[in-house]
Structure 1
Amino acid sequence: MRLLHTMLRVGDLDRSIAFYSEVLGMTLLRRKDYPEGKFTLAFIGYGNEADSTVIELTHNWDTTAYELGNGYGHIAIEVDDVYKACDDIRQRGGKITREPGPMQHGASVLAFVEDPDGYKIELLSAKRAD
């Protein structure tokens, strides 16, 4: 397993990309619109996603601002098999909050687990389509 990305919800995607790239020196790695879901994902970081942890900036088209309390999204961990990882987590007493399966408006296989404080951790299949 390895840490993939941390997701942050942002009100102005272009402003956020400019900050992370121009102020912090990161590179925009990829950006994709999901018109059916009315959101855009942008991945930004210091290295290639294949070997580096990055930040996922999520812009929900109908939201221009967030309170700091609800701006944090989740961290993501890559696993070989999302279904098996969920079974293993359950056996160790973990709480699955989103059963494994394809992403809505996408093709990635994912699931969510909740830590003791309620923070969400996304489990993603090693073979992602998006």
Structure 2
Amino acid sequence: MRILHTMLRVGELERSLDFYTNVLGMQLLRRKDYPAGRFTLAFVGYGDESSQAVIELTHNWDTDAYEIGTGYGHIALGMENIYAACDAIRAKGGKISREPGPMKHGTTEIAFVEDPDGYKIELIQLKNSEKI
């Protein structure tokens, strides 16, 4: 078994696709409209779904916004330089909700950004032995 995807409900699909592809650098892997159900599914990620977990963005055509709730935590992305990533995200209009630095009560370097719907995404500095 392996994780296939995580689904997020989004209020404006194009705005979310712009964030995940242009700000975070993911690829739009596939997209399909379901007119009878009045929704669209778009899958984004850093690699092919056959070998990597991806994010499913679900846009229900009649819903503009969602409450995230208290059970949701975040999506985590590992990268070689979270400081440069935050600079690039900020330059593209992305929201940095926690600047890069060591986590509280630990040494792992992290940062947090938010997507257009307010979902939190943790950026984790990978150590040299954890290269992508």
Instruction: Place the TM-score, normalised by the shorter chain, in its bin.
Output: 0.5 to 0.7
Q: Distance in 2 between matches of 1:71 and 1:35?
A: 30
Gaps of at least 5 residues in structure 2 are 73-132
1:69 matched residue in structure 2:
69
User: 1:7, 1:55 within 8 Å by CA — same for their partners in 2?
Assistant: yes
User: 1:9, 1:71 within 8 Å by CA — same for their partners in 2?
Assistant: no
SS in 1 for 2:19: helix
Gaps of at least 5 residues in structure 1 are 73-130
User: 1:41, 1:59 within 8 Å by CA — same for their partners in 2?
Assistant: yes
- Greater strand content: 1
1:35 matched residue in structure 2:
35
Q: RMSD in angstroms over aligned alpha carbons?
A: 1.7
Report the TM-score, using the length of structure 2 for normalisation: 0.52
- The one-letter code of the counterpart of 2:60 is N
SS in 2 for 1:69: coil
Report the TM-score, using the length of structure 1 for normalisation: 0.53
Deviation above 2 Å: which 4+ runs of structure 1? none
2:4 matched residue in structure 1:
4
1:120 matched residue in structure 2:
none
1:82 matched residue in structure 2:
none
* Residue correspondences, number: 72
